[in-house]
Each structure stands twice: as C-alpha cells, then as structure tokens.
Structure 1
C-alpha cells in the first residue's frame, strides 16, 4: 500500500489521492469522532485493563479520534499517534495543542507495512481503530505489536462492517435504494484494495500469540435530529463515493446522487429530516501473555 493512505482509515469508503480528496477524508474522520464520541467513550471504558495505561500507541491514528478518546479516558497517559499521512498528523497536533494536550501527544509518521518500524517505545496499550484492514501484511503487523507491547499489555482492535448508511431504503423518492447501490459499487473497489476488511481478527490475534480476553459488538443508530453533524457526515461520505464510483453508476443514479450532493438545491441531503447513521463495529481486546 502506498504512503498516501495506508494507515489513514476512511471507514470502508474508497480513498481519494489528491488534495481535495485528502480534505474530504480528514473531514470524515473528524465527523466520525464528533458523532461517535459517546460510543468511543463506552469502548474505552469497556477495555479489560488491570491498571490504567501510562503509555498508549494509536496505530493508524488518522486525525485523532482514538487519541483524544484515550486521553480523556486515561488522564495520566500519554499517546504516541502513528500514521502514514503527514497532513492528518499535523491536524491531530493542531487539535492537541488547541486543547492544551500537546505535552501528552507525540506524533510519528510511519508506514506500518514496512518491516522496520520507528521506535514507538514499550506501550501498555496499543489501539488500532479502523486501521488494521488497511494493512497489506496484517499478520506481520500483529506480531510486531505483540513484541512491541509491554508484558501483560493490551491490544485493542476496532473494526467495522463498512461505511455507515444514512438514508431510508425508500430514499430518495426518485431512485429508492440509491445508497445501497452506491455502496455495492464501491464495495467491489474496496475488496480489491483492502482484502482484509472483514477478516477474523480474533483468530488472527490468537495466531500472533495474543490471548483474546474480550469481544464487544457495537451497534450504532444515531438519528440526524440528535446531531446536525450526521448530515455533514452523510454529505462527505457520499461525495467520496461519487468520486470513486461515478463511472459504474447508471446515469439515473448519478443524477439522483448529484441532487443529494447539491447543497444549494431543494433535494440536498442536508435538507432531509429522516437521516439516521447506521453501522456496526466490533472490538477485540487481546493481551500479550
């Protein structure tokens, strides 16, 4: 995988490789953190830790959703955020300084598919949220994390079924089922680029020498009326899908999608009052024995 996107999760949506696409990706990551803040807090609270970690490594940190959730949960910890994207790490660093957390955050640009990693210390907790399926060699990454962790340390892997859905099946009125057809088109592209999405991470963790101590399914169902960020998340996600799958969609679907993406038009997705963010995630907690 290349350095542009290898460790920056976009939650199952195809990646963009130029400037505007990078901005969309960063916006999606920030919106994910905003909309799912309560879910992230519940996941960090669930982790089967024997003591509060003092040093945490966030693998594939993106713009810092996991980093800041972990800093909130463990006020005495410091986090090393590792990611392939210099832009995402700059964004993370800016947010950390703005929140007065700069001294507790260290950023490291790294291609985690390389055999040799930079020095990440000996953490008590390693966190990888929506990043493991991006790895070209996940078995090697798992073994590296096992050796990296302090004895008895915990590895938390958060993975997801795919990019969230937002529209009801009957929407839009002119082309019911449009969202699912769009995702079907991009799923084919994703399967080629990220063959490890949907892998059996529990088995892979055990094979790498970990003892899996817990598995937590997380169901997300957040109505747009609870957060206006849901609409912005849907808009950003569908923009990314249009960019990736435009050539594979029918002219009718493409026209309906463009109406949803036209923020000045009457059919804009931002004008809808029936949006609900729906997705599934799974968390595995595995200990180095």
Structure 2
C-alpha cells in the first residue's frame, strides 16, 4: 500500500522525532502536488458524486492549503465547502485560493485538532472527504468513527488512503544500482511505521478500509482507484514535483538507505549533473490513489 507522506491533505500533529512534518514549511510543495494531481482528484470527485450528487455541505478534513477543497467546490456547485485543518497558515492559503477562484461566498475554514475538533462543525456533513489525513491520527478507527458521527443522514465519507507508490524513473537509470525506487519504497514503509508509532495514542490497525467503514456503522462500503499518468518527457511542473519528492526522501530516509543509494540520490538532485532529475528525458509521474466510501443510514 502507498502511504506517501507528501500529500496535499493532512492532520497537524505534535510528533517529535525524525518523522516530524512541518506542514507550514511544506505548503508550497503541498500545493504543487495537489495541483499536479488535480486530474486524478477530479475523476475521484466525479465518482463520489455518483453516490452523493447534490450535497449541501462538503467538509474536507485535513484540507491543507485547500487545493482539493476548491476542486470539490467546482464538482459540487450547489454546496458550501468547509476546509478543516490544524494549521492556520495552510488554511489562510485555502481562503486565499477560494477568493482567487471566486468561491469565497460558499467557502469556509475551521482550524481545529482532529478528530475532536470536528464537534465544532456547525452542521453535519453531506459529504466528508478525508484525503490521506486519517493515517495521521493515532487511533484511525476512533478517527473514522468521529467522521461518521458528523455525517448527516445518508451522508457519505470518502477516504483517500492507499493505492500504489508513485513512480518517476525506470528500474535501471544508468547510475547507481538498479531498483532504487523499490528501495525507496521500503524506506518509506519503515518511515511510515515510525511516524504512526510516534503519534499520540497510536493504535495498530489492519488497513481493511471497507471493514473499518462498516465497523463504524456506515453502509455500502466500496473502493475505486484512480490513476495519474504523466509520461516522459514531463512538463516543468511534473519535473519540479519529482525533484521535490526525491529531495524530501533524501532528507527523511538518510539513515534508512546505504551509502551507494544516498550517492545516487545526490547525483539525481544535482542540477549541474546531466543525469539528474533536472535534465533527464526519462522522468515520468505514474501514481494511483484509492478512494474508499461509506454511507450513513438515511432517515427512516
């Protein structure tokens, strides 16, 4: 399963080790990634709309800088959208984006810690979207139960969790040992495990999302995976995203990789090296995100 700690959505927490994430510092990267992934998110939102076509209130939990919140506002033009996050600076970006896009009259923000802060929502949600934010809560089952409690009758939860690890390069890139990305995936899994273990109240949980949705009282649990396929040669935005992703992996996984792989990463990140990500013609972006949905019981 892909976890990808570099997503456009999140929960702002207080873990204090090498897995610390400074969300405000990542704001630009979060925006760039979400904008690059916009085609994937639009397809996912359109699929969710087949289950909840005309929500009055859409809540984006762990919204980050609000890129997806605004996409949801586009997909559901009759809805009010509330972006919920623990980072004030990111929510300020979300408000600015909504203003620029002409959405401010039906766009709001709520700065709270999750999941308890969801109780501050003024109205129950017809659609609660959580894009790679649930796995930043120590007790995911309790977090999901809190999501379900804030649904209106017949309301839908849409979780973006899992999928496949993103790919940017061929297996053999002509420098270093072949299979670098597979080893980066293994390092990501180790990093993710440490991040989860360091969260307050961390509870181990099998990632059977359909069972978890059903377990908190939701019905019709179903899943679908959406693909982002940007083949080589990529444009400037996709290349910049690849560079930023590899840079953060180099910083985060330094003690999880051997000296040879670290040297290869340094070469890939060197803008003066013709074999780097800055210049290579074989860079691509291929990613798959899975959306899991469940519905609250209607009235009656």
TM-score, normalised with respect to structure 2: 0.83
Contact 2:165 2:288 in 1 (8 A): no
Q: Distance in 1 between matches of 2:87 and 2:32?
A: 18
1:101–1:116 distance in 2 versus 1, CA, 3 Å? closer
| Secondary structure of residue in 2 paired with 1:239 | helix
TM-score, normalised with respect to structure 1: 0.86
**2:143 aligns with one of 141, 144, 148:** 141
After superposing the two structures, state which structure 1 stretch, 194-203 or 39-48, moved more.
Answer: 194-203
1:78 aligns with 2:80: yes
Query: Aligned residue for 1:26?
Result: 27
After superposing the two structures, state which structure 1 stretch, 137-146 or 190-199, moved more.
Answer: 190-199
1:249 aligns with 2:257: yes
Following superposition, the deviation at residue 257 of structure 1 comes to 0.6
**1:123 aligns with one of 119, 122, 125:** 125
After TM superposition, what 4+ stretches of structure 1 lie above 4 angstroms from structure 2? 195-198
Following superposition, the deviation at residue 61 of structure 1 comes to 0.6
Paired positions, count: 278
Following superposition, the deviation at residue 85 of structure 1 comes to 1.7
1:202 aligns with 2:210: yes
**1:284 aligns with one of 289, 292, 295:** 292
Any residues of structure 2 matched to 1:110-259 within 5 Å, and which?
110-114=112-116, 117-161=119-163, 163-194=165-196, 199-259=207-267
Q: Distance in 2 between matches of 1:164 and 1:197?
A: 24
Contact 1:142 1:208 in 2 (8 A): yes
1:101 aligns with 2:103: yes
| Secondary structure of residue in 2 paired with 1:52 | coil
Query: Aligned residue for 2:60?
Result: 58
After superposing the two structures, state which structure 1 stretch, 106-115 or 198-207, moved more.
Answer: 106-115
Following superposition, the deviation at residue 30 of structure 1 comes to 1.6
Following superposition, the deviation at residue 96 of structure 1 comes to 1.5
Contact 1:161 1:198 in 2 (8 A): no
1:241–1:39 distance in 2 versus 1, CA, 3 Å? same
Residues 145-166 of structure 1 deviation map (CA, whole Å, 9 limit, x = unaligned): 2221111111111112365221
Following superposition, the deviation at residue 60 of structure 1 comes to 0.7
CA RMSD of aligned residues (A): 2.5
Query: Aligned residue for 2:51?
Result: 49
Contact 1:146 1:208 in 2 (8 A): yes
Q: Distance in 2 between matches of 1:285 and 1:259?
A: 42
Query: Aligned residue for 2:90?
Result: 88
Following superposition, the deviation at residue 269 of structure 1 comes to 0.3
| Secondary structure of residue in 2 paired with 1:167 | coil
Contact 1:128 1:156 in 2 (8 A): yes
Contact 1:170 1:177 in 2 (8 A): yes
Following superposition, the deviation at residue 38 of structure 1 comes to 1.6
Gaps of 5+ in 1: none
Residues 178-223 of structure 1 deviation map (CA, whole Å, 9 limit, x = unaligned): 2222332232121122367971111000000000253212233321
Contact 2:127 2:157 in 1 (8 A): yes
| Secondary structure of residue in 2 paired with 1:191 | helix
